[in-house]
């Protein structure tokens, strides 16, 4: 068995996904208590779905997450579930977010599977904010 591979019913897999999303209007919303609570909520939700968080970074604007998934989970569902949970809970617990922003997160996100790029490259990007390791072209 190759290191890092997981065994599931009927298959062996190693699926890594890099997910990024931003706050509404790209407002820097993460002061210390909001930042810490957001990271806690992300890790709890990922643990509940058995998604392994390889790297995460909650910055004043974007949230970066490098997570290992089961093939039955789509990157879009990861982004949507995490955005929905964190928005609901953070806006309930921190009232200033409700009055300051009409919504916590922008509607968009970036989700990229990590096939052509090594997990170490994605982890370095998430941790240090280096240049995006692959070119992104807008779908037409």
Q: Give per-residue pLDDT as tens, 14-59.
A: 788 889 998 888 877 777 788 889 999 999 999 999 898 888 888 8
Question: pTM higher than 0.85 for the full model?
Answer: no
State the Cα–Cα distance between residues 140 and 132, nearest whole angstrom.
Answer: 21
State the Cα–Cα distance between residues 122 and 129, nearest whole angstrom.
Answer: 10
The total of structural domains in the chain comes to 1
DSSP H helices, 1-140, are 32-49, 75-93, 95-100, 119-128
pLDDT higher than 90, residue 88:
yes
Residue 58 bridge partners (DSSP) = 63
State the Cα–Cα distance between residues 137 and 18, nearest whole angstrom.
Answer: 16
Element housing 68 (H / E): strand 63-69
Give the pLDDT band of residue 138 (cuts 50, 70, 90): very low
- Asked if the structure places residue 138 within a domain, the reply is no
- Asked if the structure places residue 54 within a domain, the reply is yes
Percent of the chain with pLDDT strictly greater than 90: 20
- Asked if the structure places residue 133 within a domain, the reply is no
State the Cα–Cα distance between residues 116 and 91, nearest whole angstrom.
Answer: 37
Which CATH number is 89's domain given?
A: 3.30.70.1290
- Asked if the structure places residue 26 within a domain, the reply is yes
* Structural domain span for residue 36: 6-128
- Asked if the structure places residue 135 within a domain, the reply is no
- Asked if the structure places residue 134 within a domain, the reply is no
- Asked if the structure places residue 140 within a domain, the reply is no
- Asked if the structure places residue 12 within a domain, the reply is yes
């Amino acid at each position: 068995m190759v290191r890092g591979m997981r065994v599931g019913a009927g298959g062996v897999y190693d699926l890594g996904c890099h997910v990024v999303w931003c706050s509404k209007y790209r407002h820097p919303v993460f002061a210390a208590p909001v930042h810490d609570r957001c990271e806690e909520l992300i890790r709890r939700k990922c643990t509940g779905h058995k998604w392994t968080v390889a790297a995460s970074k909650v910055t004043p604007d974007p949230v970066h997450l490098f997570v290992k998934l089961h093939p039955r989970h789509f990157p879009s569902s990861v982004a949507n579930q995490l955005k929905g949970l964190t928005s609901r809970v953070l806006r309930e617990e921190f009232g200033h977010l409700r009055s300051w922003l009409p919504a916590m997160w922008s509607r968009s996100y970036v989700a990229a599977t990590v096939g052509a790029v090594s997990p170490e490259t994605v982890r370095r990007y998430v941790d240090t904010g280096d240049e995006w390791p692959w070119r992104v072209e807008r779908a037409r």
